[in-house]
Structure 1
Amino acid sequence: MATPAMLTGHHAVVTGAGRGIGAAIAAQLAAHGATLTLMGRNADVLHATAKTLPDSARAQVVTCDVTDEASVSAAFESARAGLGPISILVNNAGQAESASFAKTTLDQWQRMLAVNLTGTFLCTQAALPDVQASGRGRIVNIASTAGQRGYAYVSAYVAAKHGVIGLTRSLALELAARGVTVNAVCPGYTETDIVRESIDRIVARTGRSEEEARAELVKGNPQGRLITPDEVANAVVWLCSDGASSITGQAISVSGGEVM
């Protein structure tokens, strides 16, 4: 069970921490005592998020392009130089673009793999020595229900998120005997900028109203609603707790029953 201050003494890195799910994860990790490095491409957005954290939180901002190996290496060196060894990594940075498969360009395909899958690979490799040395490390990859099923018109994104879940399972087996757990959290459609952009695209392409476009996205959720960022963050915090020490290699759907 998640309890206040249960993550005191742990340095958590959250990528894509500036807004949406990443910002919610950062806030909840801080509320449970973790020291935080907020990573992302936009320093101003990250600093704005850092200002919303509890006054007691120890946090720093480090800019990083997760698709660039040199940027990732430098960012993680800055993270540990500022706040010490990393024991928790949350790979949240992600991006979604839509197109029919026939119209998906190689550039678009490579962008989706770079941000969603290669970024997870690079950041995990950069954090891994610290995470292993901690003796109870946690790696949580924010995947998607798109990694558990298929969706039309986002084939590149779906392929990347399936890859994230495969990486999660493989790495969990490699690290199980070292006290490190590796899990994926798979949100359904969540109230974030990415989903708002999806709604805008549906409106622009189909002429539907915003309400009709939103209804199209939530119809796959048996609860008939969008997920909130805090609901995703709750799952992440639990996976980082001692109470989840036996949970590894799992892809946990936070989707109102969309995936069972």
Structure 2
Amino acid sequence: MATVILLRHGRSSANGSGVLAGRTPKVGLDDTGRGQAKALPGRLAGVPLAGVVVSPMLRCKQTVAPLLEGRELARTVEPRLSEVDYGEWTGRELKTLLKEPLWKVVQSHPSAAVFPGGEGLASMQARAVAAVREHDARITAEHGDHAIWLLCSHGDVLKAILADALGQHLDSFQRIVVDPASVSVVRYTETRPFVVRVNDHGSDFAGVVPPPPKRGRKKASSDAEIGGSTGRKDQA
């Protein structure tokens, strides 16, 4: 299976406002977020992307726009990667949501959290994980096991995908940090995913590109390195 770069959108106009934007229309990047988006082509300059899949929210489309300008890549919009539907919580101030009984559930037992008039976090994880695995299988079929592609979505959505890849219960997903414009990397195989990076703000991503397949081997191995990896064999 292929390797996916999980990119959170750049900082939006809502991130620093103290308001839960959710699926509020037309929430775009702020000045910092636009700078983060402009830096993305340089950060990923050494990565040969086979595809780009994004949430339908404006802030995600704006984040990948500079990257697409310099590459012959089509943008695939995937509704299942959209922001959590926070229902009646959408547009409310976080300082008031802290007082809601549901807040403690979201923090301590998120798999049981269902937002009034919206969706549950467990449902969100199910749709997001199904989407990433389906697109990974599609890109693998089109470009091979050593393909690498990019997915741009939202903080809670990416944390849920990472929790699945790490084999963690959703109730542990609040332990994962995914900042705006950060990159996480998951390499899928037939039997297990390998989490390569989490919440990375660096600019050297050449190391996430899978090495060329060994002669006679058609598929990436699902076996983990006993004793731990010794690093990329082609970078010794």
TM-score higher than 0.5 here?
A: no
Q: Which has the higher helix share?
A: 1
1 or 2 for the larger relative contact order (CA 8 Å, sep ≥6)? 2
TM-score, length basis structure 2? 0.41
